[in-house]
């Protein structure tokens, strides 16, 4: 009953930057992200042998319930027209990739006003494992759970240098209890998401707090009570950051209650006719990338 949860946008961005831009269809359409995504998905299925899979999509990459709390959330990624800033040669590939995944009957899910992270989190707590979450996003470290065999396949260094993140990995990397990554991230902040964290507290201070307390509210109460587990400076910074602390959990924690559609998540079985897939392959010059995914699915 193993489950593979794919952070689709994270994967196609890494595919786009990891594959040469000389990969184009016969009509000149760029296909490097498509080919890289197919190759990585085939290798993931072959390596982890899931029985179920979901390609999780962004229903909204800047949900209003987060931007209403903090307008700066991911504002660093917005272009002049208020849309997500993405490379010109990547944007036209995404609809084609989704069309091809649909031909393969790979389960795909996006829910309005939720990010892919939220879908992944909700699946991870509601579906039986073991579960492997594929992403290049540190935010999802908060979901690792050794008791339920939930691990993150972290691709920040590239597919060939993927790291399997469990609680020990988090502890070794950040010097904190492995189940407190979200608390650590709230305090430290995350520049990639435009989140400042608690002003004046960096990674070392965040680790001190995460080692001593189990929640941001507990840490703030301790600061106000002159708790000696905190230095005077850390107490001061926490109290000064109380307004941000009030909203940080909702910004940083993944939603666990996304209204997911009822659907079959099983790895797709071979259709009687592969002609549409082969026609798509020829039209866009996808070559062995399509063949690798067909082989990985056991078709």
pLDDT in tens, 263-284: 999 999 999 999 999 999 999 9
CA nearest 29: which of 115, 98, 75, 88?
Answer: 88
Same domain, 143 and 7: yes
In a domain, 176, yes or no: no
* Cβ 187 vs Cβ 201: under 8 Å: yes
CATH number for the domain harbouring residue 104: 3.40.50.1010
Angle at 223 between CA 220 and CA 226, to 5 degrees: 155
In a domain, 172, yes or no: no
Same domain, 66 and 135: yes
Same domain, 202 and 143: no
Phi (first) and psi of residue 257, to 5 degrees: -130, 35
Same domain, 20 and 95: yes
- Burial grade of 66 (CB within 10 A; 0-12, 13-18, 19 or more): buried
Q: Indicate the helix (H) or strand (E) that contains 266.
A: none
- How does pLDDT run across 134-177, given as a tens digit for each residue? 999 999 999 999 999 999 999 988 888 899 999 999 999 999 99
In a domain, 173, yes or no: no
Same domain, 203 and 265: no
Same domain, 212 and 95: no
Q: How many CA atoms lie within 13 A of 116 on its CB side?
A: 21
CATH number for the domain harbouring residue 194: 1.10.150
What's this model's pTM, rounded to 2 decimal places? Answer: 0.94
pLDDT at residue 221 is higher than 90:
yes
- How does pLDDT run across 92-150, given as a tens digit for each residue? 999 999 999 999 999 999 999 999 999 999 999 999 989 999 999 999 999 999 999 99
In this prediction, residue 100 carries a pLDDT of: 98
- Domain boundaries, position 39: 3-167+255-296
Same domain, 266 and 241: no
Strand partners, 6: 55, 134
Mean pLDDT of 213-239: 97
Same domain, 137 and 232: no
- Number of domains composing the chain: 2
């Amino acid at each position: 009953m193993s489950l593979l949860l794919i952070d689709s946008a994270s994967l196609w961005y890494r595919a786009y930057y990891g594959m040469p831009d000389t990969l184009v269809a016969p009509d000149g359409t760029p296909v490097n992200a498509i080919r890289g995504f197919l190759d990585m998905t085939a290798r993931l299925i072959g390596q982890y042998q899931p029985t179920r899979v979901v390609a999780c999509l962004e229903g909204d990459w800047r949900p209003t319930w987060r931007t209403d709390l903090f307008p700066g959330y991911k504002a660093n990624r917005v272009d002049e027209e208020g849309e997500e800033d993405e490379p010109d040669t990547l944007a036209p590939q995404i609809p084609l990739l989704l069309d091809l995944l649909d031909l393969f009957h790979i389960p795909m899910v996006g829910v309005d006003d939720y990010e892919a992270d939220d879908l992944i989190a909700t699946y991870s707590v509601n579906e039986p494992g073991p579960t492997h979450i594929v992403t290049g996003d540190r935010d999802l470290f908060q979901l690792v759970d050794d008791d339920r065999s939930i691990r993150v396949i972290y691709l920040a260094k590239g597919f060939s240098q993927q790291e399997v993140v469990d609680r020990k990995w988090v502890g070794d990397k950040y010097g904190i209890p492995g189940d407190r990554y979200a608390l650590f991230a709230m305090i430290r902040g995350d520049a990639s998401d435009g989140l400042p964290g608690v002003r004046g507290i960096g990674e070392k201070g965040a680790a001190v707090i995460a080692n001593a307390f189990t929640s941001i509210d507990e840490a703030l109460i301790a600061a106000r009570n002159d708790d000696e587990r905190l230095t005077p400076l850390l107490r001061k910074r926490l109290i000064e950051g109380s307004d941000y602390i009030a909203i940080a959990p909702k910004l940083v924690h993944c939603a666990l209650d996304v209204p997911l559609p009822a659907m079959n998540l099983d790895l797709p079985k071979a259709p009687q006719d592969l002609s549409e897939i082969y026609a798509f392959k020829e039209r866009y010059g996808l070559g062995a990338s399509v063949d690798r995914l067909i082989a990985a699915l056991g078709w």
